[in-house]
Amino acid sequence: MQSSESRKIPDGRPPHFDLIAGNVCLDFVNTLDDRHTKPKELLERYDDLVRFGEDAGLLGVEQAARLIKRTSQDPGRARESLRRARDLREAIHDIFWALINERPVPDTPLARLNADVQKASEHLRLVPNNGGFEWHFDALDNFDSLLWRIAGSAADLLVSDQLPFVRACSSKDCEWFFLDTSKNHHRRWCDMKRCGNRAKVRRFYARKKTA
């Protein structure tokens, strides 16, 4: 896992988001902080979404700057796109939350994700690269282009063999999502510093009390 301190954004600024999940779509779910206790929206403005895209490596510096510029020119459409992004986020959350809790995946969020995956595929192009080919998205100045990438990340994870390793943090106040790529797949916390140590301290005092 990359620690947030060691990461640097190409333009040199420190990252805005705590990306601990090891997967773009799961980090995206975590942009509604403390979801089940005291929800805190980390995507308040379209600019926040752009910053997430930059932090997550979905956008380059120039692309991010162009999108931010377009936001000031067309704030209404940027707001609409932000609303769609949050809807997509909640759909991705609901799908993985059902899977984590071994419940059937509800139809509505799956239909929502499928709609975004279909939209994304309309913008996919094969581009030659080093004698081979790569998938690229066109229309990267489109406000929704970040949504295509995030929907694609969720779809890729759902069909991958990594799916059983999607977890929610064991702290009930937190429940951030992450992909458990640890060797024994026993990772419990989103981050040792954020939740693991807090839990250790609580256990320590609980033991002292009973002793």
- Judged by CB, which is closer to Zn ion: 86, or 188? 188
Q: In the chain, count H helices and then E strands.
A: 7, 6
Q: How far is CA 133 from the centre of its chain?
A: 26
169 near Zn ion (CB under 5 A): yes
- Judged by CB, which is closer to Zn ion: 19, or 190? 190
30 near Zn ion (CB under 5 A): no
Provide the token pair at 136. Answer: 């690229």
- Judged by CB, which is closer to Zn ion: 91, or 195? 195
Give SS3 for 210. helix
Provide the token pair at 126. Answer: 């094969």
Alpha carbon distance 33, 24 (integer Å): 16
Beta strand 40-41 with 32-33 is antiparallel
Q: What x-and-dash track marks residues 186-205 binding Zn ion by CB under 5 A?
A: ----x----x----------
168 near Zn ion (CB under 5 A): no
Strands (E), 25-67: 32-33, 40-41
* Closest distance of CB 171 from Zn ion, Å: 4
* Closest distance of CB 188 from Zn ion, Å: 9
171 near Zn ion (CB under 5 A): yes
What residues form DSSP beta bridges with 136? 125
Q: Is 128 exposed, middle or buried (0-12, 13-18, 19+ CB in 10 A)?
A: exposed
Site size for Zn ion, by CB under 5 A? 6
- Judged by CB, which is closer to Zn ion: 151, or 174? 174
- Judged by CB, which is closer to Zn ion: 100, or 139? 100
Candidate residues 58, 154, 174, 179; the one interacting with Zn ion per rule CB under 5 A: 174
Using CB under 5 A, list all residues that contact Zn ion.
Answer: 169, 171, 174, 176, 190, 195
